[in-house]
Structure 1
């Protein structure tokens, strides 16, 4: 009867319990087996072994996690980085019903073991496999619990871009870890218009000094002096030692080591001190872990944890911190796993039966049925550990990736800044515990602190030198048939001359290093070569640079790099200019609004002068006589104005009038003007007439559109200034409608383009650029206004005729006034003069007479003219 009641109670409890019978099966086990795959003789493996064992002990002694379930860990030594031993060790772990494996340590091994983990559904939690290609899509049971190399390479590329280097050399281990890391670096550099110019792979197995020496000798022959060293710690110092013996750790070189170097310096500070002379000035990275009380406590315990080490003192590196946190991530995941009803059950995998035999006993290897659930719980962990926040992003990477940037100086290291995924390079610490906000403001200053570079210099290296392999710079030069002032081949030699060539050679002379070069002509010498074809020769590698009258346009900057413009040369419109000599009937010609304004101003000034004159004289100019006088003066001066005025006129007023018309337009064959006019201004290509030389320009303009010529020619200002210097019947009409310039073209991302640009700026500052311009391009200008730019614009000198006429009008008025006074003086003083008088006395009398008249007129000013007319009949003298 008791058995019946017990059965009833069990059934009722299972029905009303929230989890039903699942709680019975989810009883936590007393222990759980986990494994670890390390290389005990490696820098990272030695530290990780101690950290993992310490984490297991801390978890087993902590009553707040796993609720009494004990972690049993089995650590396997793979000894080397090859995948074969990793396979054997992982299968040995699987025989023990292992629910998760911490590791493997090497990326090469992780690629292999991840396939086994996928089949057996056992999560791999690796604290040191940083290969970016270990993605969750290909390896769903691989979980990286450290920073991926995609972030480290992003930091390296940012450093390269910060110092404005463009080419780097990559030295790396030729395995999955090295190749994939450098491939990621290449992608990150490409985002910043930088590149890896040379790759030097090293063998991952049994590498010797001779192989390292051979690789570095080839590196020394390259142009780039920025070297990224992505290698394993056990051979990294050997590479730098050989570089020191070859003189590659001196001035001009830049060495950027990935975090393997900081790992060595942190793990074995005593042993690495003997190599300090080989690594002076090197920049390295270290995974950033924020300071915390938990981290400080663990550091204080570290010396006690490593007392049993037989190989001497063992420092704690960042991989040891991540190894410790990895065990805790697994413990948190197991705790949630058991709480949600997960069970430790395994089933045989039928595909493994074919592998059973005398040598490979796989009878005990089974599939972890709930491995996916355990992995899911691990991905949801959000705790704080020794390394900061332990939380995974949507792309299954740890959040808030960040690195310290370190400079090796003297007997130690100096932190010169930080890199974080949210802020880039900066000098102030960022609280990485908090996830970056979407609109996070940069509170830290950007950039890095000063660096002591190899050679004990604070001057930032240029990052490249001209190759010392004896190769000359191949410079393409167009063989022009016109405008030889810009580019021309010197007859009887292989040399070139002209404005563009002299500017280029002058810039090369200012470079702080020698640049051997060779001019290579381009073109058949019968027609002007197309600049687009010339630039294409750069992209194909036939030329390293192009010198000539190459206009910098947006489309061209997409395929080559240009230097600083050394001359401005926008497009202008040149048309025939007619000079109209006005005569008495010229007023019938239509004027521009500006000319009407000028004419009106002239008439106003003349009228004002006549009015003043009328006010100064008396009755003789009143009434009809006064109006006749004004009319005569007005007509006389207007006739004089038109008789001496020249008007410059052209049927073309500028680019606007050409766009709206249907007239033919001349352009230089091969010029960028054709594409600009058709694509930007929508002028039909059928209206454009390609011309080859200034002589063809002149003939086409003289003939005009009615005789098979053109209405105007559109070309660059630099050409047109030379054309107009000796052809006064043509002129520039309208405004310059593009703002462009000429530059020297180089291969994409060529560092030489930057140095030549700096040299051009120096030429401009010291006046040499203007001197070269005057030497080649200054010609005697036409005296006619028709050859001058801006004929439709009125300048101060355009009003010289008006100023002259105004001056004449004023002079005539003054003369009339003086004559009138002299006549009145002769009538007044004639009867009163007795006997002979001297000239001086007559002059004094005349001045006295003028003063009396002025005083008399001043007295009469307040009187109204109307009152004077009333009194005039009574006493004429009162007026």
Structure 2
């Protein structure tokens, strides 16, 4: 089966050679005298300046440890690729019979670097630092059964089954993007803008971020992608477009060597002030950690930024290594710039050495065999027939995956997904001349102010109530959490129709001053708009000719037809109108009313007598007498008390009335 791949090949490469004569003797490991381990990275880069000294120190430490590879010397062969971008186009044809590399552009990368990879028998490789190149090399090591240990390629897709020989010795961006999503959810934001480099590293990371946000009912509302090596003008145009969106939450996922250009352009555009939120992945702390002394110009660009950094426990082993760091140098790269990738590069060397020691102790042999599928293309300069397959590659890979030890970066142990267990990050806030840690993130307990290694001793708890961070100083030196969005600058202002009345101008009238209308209804509407926590641009449009009051039924119909976005005025709420538009709650009574000044009445204890007029008193008294007479008539015939002289009976009637 034929597959054609357009690949970026061997801009940076690691060569791990093998022992003297071991490739010829397949039955004995006792003659193994030395092992060459190579590393592939760009020396003059943020990651390279940290990885170079760390790898050299790890090789020295392995050789000085008599318990690891006794009698065998570990040699380091490091290639400085010193190149970037798309350096070569290789058409790879994989079939049952052949693997042909047909095209190779030699303009930028030395031919001998690629040829050494193809012709030397290798048992493992460390690197590269680029996710894009790791994709390319993974195809090669798959064919040759050579494990590839990468201390800096964080693309989550590299852990797929397509690359069985790829083993990541640093944290995957899968976890980092979930940490970013938890941060966004913690502060209650729902829309973010992703600024990223458009390569395997950037695209895959942002893809995972989109999935993680979707699980938290949030989303990436705009993707601002730029090509590697993009010019400042291109980045400027990109950020201008992003700034027209309503979201003010920016997630930056770029390379450390060029990432500050984003903030330099953003500051020139006024996008690093109050109301903006900038969240970066681990590239920014890696850059700042490796910069000594502190560059004040850089720090001024980054005030208020929230960033993630690989979390590594502060163990005695790490502190001891840090104390040695200033004395470590690699070639002529100048002062070593420490960052977390130095720890992962150091542990990668120890991982390869420990696994190889176990592999040999368990009876494993280092032997190679020819692959009949590898044949030279006519006229090819790559000498494919010299390539040989590592016979013990699968067994050595399994040994690597079950190796477990405590390194500078913490516990080095792989899970079923071939990623390091216990991924965790420090959450940092840039302020002043440094970075302040405001908490941690781990896939075990989410956001916390307690170190992950302490939480591992307790049951996992990722509930919302358990998520905590210290306070943040946001861009613009603001302590209050930004709302995260504004009305988009490219949005059309609301078109508000206002009846151009002739009568009752106290409610609505034309005005020569801004906003062009005035009246009680306008005052109520403006007061309601001012209560909103975000701006709502709007413009008033007079409806009518000003010579007679407009037809309100027609006005409502125009709103229903979307010729206007809304209408403000003394519009009566009736059944037919409610069927086509929505009304607010009425803010004034309808119908006939009398408006009169209110006077304060004088209080009097006899105020209850005011409603009783003379006529009312007479009628009330007459009713009393009538009731007394009725009672006398009914009782006179049977009750002795109602008999006697007429005067007595009259007194009885008045008594009953009283």
When normalised by structure 1's length, the TM-score is 0.54
Residue in 1 that maps onto 2:225: 201
Instruction: Give 1:449's match in structure 2, choosing from 449, 457, 470.
Output: 470
Superposed displacement of residue 376, structure 1: 0.6
Gaps in structure 2 of 5+ consecutive residues: 1-24, 89-108, 498-507, 509-521, 542-552, 569-573, 594-626
- What count of residue pairs does the alignment treat as equivalent? 541
Is 1:295–2:318 an aligned residue pair? yes
Distance 1:822 1:425, change over 3 A: farther
Match of 2:234 among 211, 216, 230: 211
**Superposed counterparts of 1:522-601, under 5 Å:** none
User: Equivalent of 2:37, from 34, 55, 62?
Assistant: 34
Partner of 1:236: 259
Match for residue 546 of structure 2?
none
Distance in 2 of aligned mates of 1:58 and 1:356: 46
**CA distance, structure 1, for counterparts of residue 59 and residue 452 of structure 2:** 31
Q: Secondary structure of 2:374's partner?
A: helix
1:466 aligns with 2:479: no
Where do 1:265-664 residues align within 5 Å? 265-270=288-293, 272-306=295-329, 312-355=334-377, 359-362=381-384, 364-431=386-453, 440=461, 445-469=466-490, 471-472=492-493, 507-516=528-537
- Measure, in 2, the Cα distance between the counterparts of 1:475 and 1:393: 60
| 2:467 match: secondary structure | coil
Cα 1:347–1:177 shift into 2, 3 Å: same
Q: 1:356 touches 1:363 (CA, 8 Å); kept in 2?
A: no
Aligned equivalent of 2:120: 96
**Pair 1:820–1:350, CA change in 2 (3 A):** farther
| Contact persistence 2:43–2:333 (CA under 8 A) | no
Shift in alpha-carbon separation, 1:367–1:251, aligned structure 2, 3 A: same
Cα distance, 1:97–1:438 mapped onto 2, change above 3 Å: farther
Tell which deviates more after alignment, 149-158 or 75-84: 75-84
Matched residue of 1:67: which SS? coil
Shift of the 513–694 alpha-carbon distance from structure 1 to 2, 3 Å rule, reads closer
Gaps of 5+ in 1: 1-21, 477-489, 491-500, 549-691, 696-717, 720-741, 745-768, 781-810, 847-879
1:215 to partner: Cα distance: 2.0
Instruction: Identify the match of residue 149 of structure 1 among 170, 173, 190.
Output: 173
| From 48, 70, 88, the counterpart of 2:73 | 70
- Matching of residue 168 in structure 1 with residue 192 in structure 2: yes
Partner of 1:80: 83
Higher relative contact order (CA 8 A, sep 6+): 2
Alpha-carbon spacing, 1:151–1:28, altered in 2? closer, same or farther (3 Å) = farther
Offset at residue 231 of structure 1 (A)? 0.9
CA distance in 1: counterparts of 2:636 and 2:427, whole angstroms: 97
- 1:225 paired to 2:228: no
| Higher CA-based Rg | 1
Evaluate the alpha carbon distance shift between residue 305 and residue 517 of structure 1 in structure 2; reply closer, same or farther with a 3 A threshold.
same
Select the structure that is richer in helix. Answer: 1
RMSD: 4.6
SS in 2 for 1:301: helix
Is 1:109 equivalent to 2:133 in the alignment? yes
1:123 paired with 2:173, answer no
Task: Please state how far the C-alpha of 1:443 moved relative to its aligned partner.
Answer: 12
Cα distance, 1:546–1:360 mapped onto 2, change above 3 Å: farther
| 8 Å Cα contact 1:33-1:97 kept in structure 2 | no
Structure 2 residue 55 is the aligned partner of structure 1 residue 52: yes
Q: Is the 8 A contact 1:87 1:112 kept in 2?
A: no
Matches within 5 A, 1:668-679: none
Distance, in Å, in 2 between the alignment partners of 1:778 and 1:318 is 75
Task: Indicate how the Cα distance of structure 1 residues 23 and 42 shifts in structure 2: closer, same or farther if over 3 A, else same.
Answer: closer
